[in-house]
Each structure stands twice: as C-alpha cells, then as structure tokens.
Amino acid sequence: MQKVFLTLSLLFLLSSFAQNTTIVPGEKLTFTASYNMSGIMTDLAEVKMQTSEVKTSKSTLLRLKCTATTYSKWDSFFKIRDLYESYVSKKTLTPFLYKRDINEGGYYKFMQYKFNHKSKTVKSLKRKKNKKGGFWDENKTLKIGASTKDLVTTLYHIRNLDIHKASIGDSQDFTVLFDNKESSVNVKYIGKESINTNIGSKECYKLSISINGSDILKGSNNNLLWLTADANKIPVYATFKIAIGSGELKIKSATGLKN
C-alpha cells in the first residue's frame, strides 16, 4: 500500500516556492481509494488531507496532514494505518519538518526530515522494527537541490500555481525527496475536462504524471489527475497504474475551503 500511496501522492506533484494564496487552516478533503481486484474496482481505504495551525516559540506554521486507513472489513486481510505530515510556512508552504509513519499488515517504518534550506541539507531519521520486535534507527544528513521538497508539501504546492496560464502539452520536471532519494517527476498539462464527482459536476484541469528513470508508474496515459479549474484547485479524481495493478482516488467531501 505504501507504493500505492506514493503513487497517489506523486499524482499531485508540482513544485514551486510561491506565495500561498489557496491553502488555509481547517481545510479537510476526504477520498475513497480503490484498487483493481480480479478486474473489479474495489473500495479499500479512506484517504484524508487536513490542515491546521500550529504555534511554535518562533513562528506559526501550517500542518499538512495526510492519512490512509483501510475500511474495517479489510483490516483482517491487510490493515493499513499510514500517516504523512509536513510542517510548513503559512505564507510560502516552505517545508521545515516532515514525518512519515507507515503501519501496513505488520510492516512498520518511520521517516523524519528536518530541512535546512540555507545549507540545502536535510537531517534524516529512519526507524524500523528488528526481528526481535525492537527498533533500530539510521541517521543521515542529505544534500538536496534548492527546490527539493517532501511528498506532503508538494501535494499542496500545485494548488498555488497558475495552471490557467499553461498551454496544452506544456510539461515540466519537479523533484521530490522520498526514502532519502531525490526523484524527478514530469507533469504534463493535457487540457480541461468536466467530470461528475461526489461534490458535483466539476470543470477540471487534467494532468498526466510520470517519474523519470523509474518504473513505479506504468504506461504513458494511465496516471492522470483532475483538479477543479477554480481558485481552490481541489484534487477530485486520479487514476494510476503500477507494477502490481491499478487503482483510483475519488473525492468524497471537501470542507473548510478558502474560496
């Protein structure tokens, strides 16, 4: 499931430091994650994206929290409780702290990144379970590019970009740090398309996603994302294909929006 969640995350990718004019505390987006099982698209989990304000001794940050939880009827088969979160600047969405806590069918993994944008480094902590049930830690200092960000931060950056200025066929590469490695992701603008969703009929920006030098995403037209063509740019639908199958992400509800 972590590859599926990574894929879903990458389906939202664009990266740019800009003024945040879209994301506010109190926003909550809820999705249904479906997976193709024996030719039938089956609803397996609920994905939530939530924002909140966090005050520190030096500043006020925006917490971007994403969770993936299997529906109870699937817990006995493969229980998933995943948490991804990032603490960012309210004005620019610049990331300062990122955490990823994975608990999937007995598999556990924790990752933490502390960003230092002046030195272009990240202090990374990886924690996993050992065979005896205890934990072992691995600490590293990573050099990163000036525009490299974590997954969660990039989920929200796309919604601050002026997509309406793009021409059909325009594409660009962006960089994300995942599992201590930088990956280059290509995002291509296909055009506008109206689709029916659980929150109504929406005119959307349609994007295709691919990862350079990786076979995580399969096919050239199978990994697509639809964002509402309005001031909120809400992700309402996504399709993906990976080595172990294909799936969808469909919005269920959206509350606390700025616009």
What's the average pLDDT block by block, 10 residues per block, for the chain (259 residues)?
A: 51 53 95 89 95 93 97 93 96 95 92 96 94 88 94 84 90 86 86 97 92 61 88 93 80 96
Q: Locate tokens 């974590």: which residue?
A: 150
What pLDDT is stored for residue 244 in this prediction?
66
Report the domain count for the chain: 1
What pLDDT is stored for residue 86 in this prediction?
97
How far is 180 from 259, CA to CA, in rounded Å? 36
Per DSSP bridges, beta strands 95-104 and 107-116 are: antiparallel
Q: Encoding tokens for residue 243?
A: 């080595």
What pLDDT is stored for residue 251 in this prediction?
98
Name the residue range of residue 103's domain.
2-255
What pLDDT is stored for residue 15 in this prediction?
38
Quick one: which of 71, 93, 91 has its CA closest to 1?
71
What pLDDT is stored for residue 3 in this prediction?
52
Q: Within 13 A of 48's CA, how many CA atoms are on the CB side? A: 14
Segment (H or E) for 212: none
Q: Encoding tokens for residue 186?
A: 């290509």
Q: Encoding tokens for residue 154?
A: 């990039």
DSSP code, position 142: E
List the beta strands (DSSP E) in 118-230. 121-129, 135-143, 171-178, 181-197, 200-211, 224-228
CATH, residue 57: 2.40.360
Segment (H or E) for 153: helix 151-157
What pLDDT is stored for residue 58 in this prediction?
86
